[in-house]
Amino acid sequence: MKIKGRIVGGILVVISVGCYWAFSSNKIEVQPNRPLMWGDFKQVALINGRESINATCITTTDFQINRTYEEEGYKRIDLKAKIALQQEQTRVSLQFLSRANKATKEQVLNHENGHFKIAQIIGRRIVSTVDAFRFHPTDYQSQLDSIVRSNYKDWAGLDREYDLVTTNPRNPEKQKEWDLWLREELKKLGS
């Protein structure tokens, strides 16, 4: 009777773990999981040796394969993304903080939060694409790498376009359009 109970218990554990992976919504981790504040930025005399740069937000996305499994002749991947602010490289100019008025500081901080949101969008897009993708059983790693590279290319393009349209010169109307787009895109991706 004890052996039968252990077998049934073991089967329930396996089923529970399988259900956890199948239905886990914790595939995205964002650090910090809130809007950025000036306290998140390292205060420096100059950014990249230039007085014209007020602030810069540097974010990374790292991925972890939680598991791979076979499904109908394909390989499926359970991927987790960690989107994190790189505080050592995320900087604000001391001169900017001392000379800018409150409204300008808020505008610049809002803009830098936009870069942080773009990183979150890319991380979520990658996880979403991987969740839906049917990978080749033996060549899945190169296919995964291709998905990540393609999205990283999009990330670089979005960051460039975002800066070009909203800050070259500063354009509050375009910033509002981007703010709306970023909010809607994150909402669409389940944030």
Full-model pTM: 0.85
Is 157 a residue whose pLDDT tops 90? yes
When pLDDT is averaged across residues 85-97 and rounded to a whole number, the result is 97
pLDDT at 191: 76
- Give the C-alpha distances (Å, rounded to integers) separating 170 from 90, 134, 143: 20, 43, 39
Is 22 a residue whose pLDDT tops 70? no
Is 109 a residue whose pLDDT tops 90? yes
Nearest to 159 by CA among 61, 57, 47, 39: 57
pLDDT at 10: 45
CA dist 110 and 94 (Å) reads: 18
CA dist 78 and 131 (Å) reads: 7
> Which residue do the tokens 């252990």 mark?
6
Q: State what percent of residues in the chain have pLDDT above 90.
A: 83
pLDDT at 20: 39
Q: How confident is the model at residue 168 (pLDDT cuts 50, 70, 90)?
A: confident
Q: Classify the C-alpha dihedral 159-162-165-171 as positive or negative.
A: negative
> Which residue do the tokens 């964002």 mark?
30
When pLDDT is averaged across residues 88-107 and rounded to a whole number, the result is 97
CA dist 101 and 7 (Å) reads: 68
Q: How confident is the model at residue 1 (pLDDT cuts 50, 70, 90)?
A: low
pLDDT at 3: 53
Crossing angle for the helix pair 140-167 and 172-188, to the nearest 10 degrees? 150
| DSSP-derived pairing of the beta strands 42-44 and 74-85 | unpaired
pLDDT at 4: 52
Is 12 a residue whose pLDDT tops 60? no
When pLDDT is averaged across residues 55-67 and rounded to a whole number, the result is 96
- Token reading at 161: 């376009």
Q: Across the strands, what pairs with 71?
A: 74
